[in-house]
């Protein structure tokens, strides 16, 4: 269960869900909560029961459906309204009835916010804090208090901000969480203020940082170093405006850089998987450059790096990526040297060590193709086929293309439809197939797969999952070179292929052919003649 000496507290499903365009269903939240528990998070803020039906339903279902091993669910809410007893406030009642053993209350700690936003007196705000905490404690719930706008309030009226903390702790709150709600603080300011608050009040303190200065993680670490023992954040740094402190980055820094043990042993080995799984649920693609869990976090492109990594991987990596469930990657590009090609080949199952001629040939070809518009940084599947051509004398020949064409048409005000005709030979058969789709690439994809799966049934398992187009010579307008990257999956793995052409359709066709060829090779299908 949750540790008593240090709290790792996730607020993805409440504060993170305030991110622009992010909308979570109740089922989404139940699934995310299970992922967070698998990660070893100590406290999961499920939402604000009583403020909306979705969050109220979440807590009702969570009590029946969630079996949490590490985490404790927390309900978020506000102190009672001015002039209303805590026992009579319906929003406080919703917290009481939520079934959550922990309640996190938000309270104003900035004097101007009390007077201008709450439109009440400073004394009444303190009474609201005291009454609500005492009421929930009498009801048997643990209480954490989020001191909203604390750092700005401390700078404007230190005495009052400190009095909010004292009032909450004296009323029975376990933790006073100091919130950089506007996200405007810098690490040395945060460290100095947290240290002073701790020394002055003796309270147990937490930190809740926003990323408006790009310092949310750094501010969180500064707070912990100054004595905070409660850390709040969101997976993948979700949150309003520029987001909250990234919880995984913060915790990983505490564990691997500061030597603190704040998570269950080995839990962070699932960090990359869980960060990406939650990205799928939120429908926000994971950032490739995310520290620790991004696909580029341990990716190396420069030839100089690759030469050093060949001797010792730690020379250009700050840690072993396996500790957070990630992998080292070598990127093949025009900056690649022979060392990069050798290491990337080894990663893909080709031993090029000692073969200087092949290494030089592949390196020169890669640089030449990148000048033409190709990129192999993400397109490992296309690069593996290229290696087969250079090392083994050719790629697997599953089919021979005779011709292809695409027609797009629109009838009046109706939507445009596309029709593709593909003619090819495979397994001794001549196949001519017409495929329809909502665009030329979709139609080509259908026609190609329908033709080939008549001879190679495995193709029925392949599905295009992502499609990205880049115009390379933008100054040429519609006459520019086009690059297309295609993601394909067989339900087990995903691979990426690249095509370049004078137009989007031609480039897409090349990437589609690579995708099907690579998929059949991956399934160890023998070419039929």
Task: Report the distance separating Cα 123 and Cα 162, nearest Å.
Answer: 13
Using the predicted structure, report yes or no on whether residue 476 has a pLDDT greater than 50.
no
List, in order, residues 6 or more apart from 52 with CB less than 8 Å away: none
> What mean pLDDT do residues 469-491 have?
75
Using the predicted structure, report yes or no on whether residue 161 has a pLDDT greater than 80.
yes
Task: Report the distance separating Cα 229 and Cα 10, nearest Å.
Answer: 14
Confidence of residue 157 (pLDDT cuts 50, 70, 90): very high
Confidence of residue 334 (pLDDT cuts 50, 70, 90): very low
List, in order, residues 6 or more apart from 319 with CB less than 8 Å away: 256
* In 310-379, beta strands by DSSP E: 329-330
The length of the chain, given as a count of residues = 529
Point out the least confidently predicted range of 62-66, 85-89, 305-309, 399-403: 305-309
DSSP 8-state class, residue 115 = I
> What mean pLDDT do residues 320-338 have?
68
> What mean pLDDT do residues 252-267 have?
95
Contact assessment for residue 340 and residue 303, using Cβ atoms and an 8 Å cutoff: yes
Q: List, edge to edge, every strand of the sheet that includes 417-426.
A: 400-409, 417-426, 429-437
Per-residue model confidence as pLDDT tens digits over 377-397: 667 888 889 888 888 888 889
Give pLDDT, residue 503: 87
Distances (CA, A) of 80 to 85, 130, 434, 451: 7, 10, 67, 67
Q: Which residue has the tokens 């979705």?
A: 54
Per-residue model confidence as pLDDT tens digits over 134-148: 999 999 999 999 999
In terms of Cα–Cα distance, which of 10, 489, 525, 19 is closest to 283?
19
Confidence of residue 367 (pLDDT cuts 50, 70, 90): confident
> What mean pLDDT do residues 31-56 have?
93
> What mean pLDDT do residues 349-362 have?
80
Residue 270's φ and ψ, nearest 5 degrees, are -100, 5
Give pLDDT, residue 412: 65
> What mean pLDDT do residues 470-487 have?
71
Task: Report the distance separating Cα 97 and Cα 497, nearest Å.
Answer: 53
Using the predicted structure, report yes or no on whether residue 513 has a pLDDT greater than 50.
yes
Sorted by where each starts, the structural domains of the chain and their CATH numbers stand as 7-263 (3.20.20.70), 299-391 (no CATH), 400-522 (3.30.160.270)
> What mean pLDDT do residues 238-265 have?
96
Using the predicted structure, report yes or no on whether residue 306 has a pLDDT greater than 60.
no
> What mean pLDDT do residues 26-54 have?
93
Using the predicted structure, report yes or no on whether residue 286 has a pLDDT greater than 80.
no
DSSP 8-state class, residue 419 = E
Point out the least confidently predicted range of 256-265, 355-364, 436-445: 355-364
pLDDT above 70 covers what percent of the chain? 91
Contact assessment for residue 426 and residue 456, using Cβ atoms and an 8 Å cutoff: yes
Pairing of strands 400-409, 482-489: unpaired
Give pLDDT, residue 176: 98
Point out the least confidently predicted range of 195-209, 345-359, 385-399, 494-508: 345-359
Greatest CA span in the chain, whole angstroms? 88
> What mean pLDDT do residues 330-347 have?
63
List, in order, residues 6 or more apart from 492 with CB less than 8 Å away: none
């Amino acid at each position: 269960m949750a540790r008593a000496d240090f709290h790792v507290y996730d607020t993805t499903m409440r504060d993170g869900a305030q991110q622009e365009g992010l909308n979570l269903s109740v089922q989404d939240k139940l699934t995310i909560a299970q992922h967070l528990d698998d990660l070893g998070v100590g406290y999961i803020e499920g939402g604000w029961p009583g403020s909306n039906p979705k969050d109220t339903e979440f807590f009702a279902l969570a009590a029946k459906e969630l079996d949490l091993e590490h985490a404790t669910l927390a309900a978020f809410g506000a102190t009672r309204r001015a002039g209303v007893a805590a026992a009579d406030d319906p929003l406080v009642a919703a917290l009481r009835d939520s079934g959550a053993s922990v309640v996190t209350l938000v309270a104003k700690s900035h004097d101007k916010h009390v007077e201008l936003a709450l439109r009440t007196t400073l004394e009444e705000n303190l009474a609201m804090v005291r009454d609500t905490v005492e009421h929930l404690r009498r009801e048997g719930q643990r209480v954490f208090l989020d001191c909203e706008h604390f750092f700005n309030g401390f700078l404007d009226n230190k005495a009052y901000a400190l009095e909010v903390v004292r009032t909450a702790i004296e009323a029975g709150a376990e933790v006073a969480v100091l919130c950089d709600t506007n996200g405007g603080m810098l690490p040395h300011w945060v460290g100095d203020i947290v240290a002073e608050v701790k020394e002055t009040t003796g309270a147990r303190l937490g930190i809740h940082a926003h990323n408006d200065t790009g310092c949310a993680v750094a501010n969180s670490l500064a707070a912990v170093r100054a004595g905070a023992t409660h850390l709040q954040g969101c997976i993948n740094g979700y949150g309003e405006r520029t987001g909250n402190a990234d919880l995984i980055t913060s915790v990983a820094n505490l564990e691997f850089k500061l030597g603190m043990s704040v998570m269950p042993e080995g839990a962070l080995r699932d960090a990359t998987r869980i960060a990406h799984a939650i990205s799928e649920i939120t429908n926000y693609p994971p950032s490739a450059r995310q520290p620790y869990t991004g696909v580029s976090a341990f990716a190396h492109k420069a030839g100089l790096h690759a030469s050093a990594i060949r001797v010792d991987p730690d020379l250009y990596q700050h840690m072993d990526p396996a500790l957070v469930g990630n992998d080292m990657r070598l990127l093949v590009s025009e900056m690649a040297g022979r060392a990069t090609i050798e290491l990337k080949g080894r990663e893909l199952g080709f031993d090029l060590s000692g073969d200087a001629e092949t290494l030089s040939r592949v390196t020169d070809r890669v640089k030449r193709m990148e000048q033409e518009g190709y990129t192999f940084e993400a397109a490992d599947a296309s690069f593996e086929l290229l290696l087969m051509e250079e090392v083994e004398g050719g790629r697997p020949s599953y089919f021979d293309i005779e011709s292809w064409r695409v027609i797009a048409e629109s009838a009046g005000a109706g939507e445009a439809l596309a029709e593709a005709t593909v003619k090819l030979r495979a397994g001794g058969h001549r196949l001519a197939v017409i495929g329809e789709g909502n665009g030329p690439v979709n139609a080509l994809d259908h026609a190609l797969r329908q033709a080939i799966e008549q001879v190679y049934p495995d193709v029925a398992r392949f599905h295009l999952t992502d499609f990205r187009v880049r115009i390379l010579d933008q100054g040429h307008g519609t006459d520019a070179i086009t690059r297309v990257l295609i993601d394909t999956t067989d339900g087990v793995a995903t691979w990426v292929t690249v095509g370049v052409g004078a137009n989007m359709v031609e480039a897409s066709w090349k990437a589609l052919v690579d995708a099907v060829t690579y998929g059949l090779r991956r399934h160890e299908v023998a070419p039929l003649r």
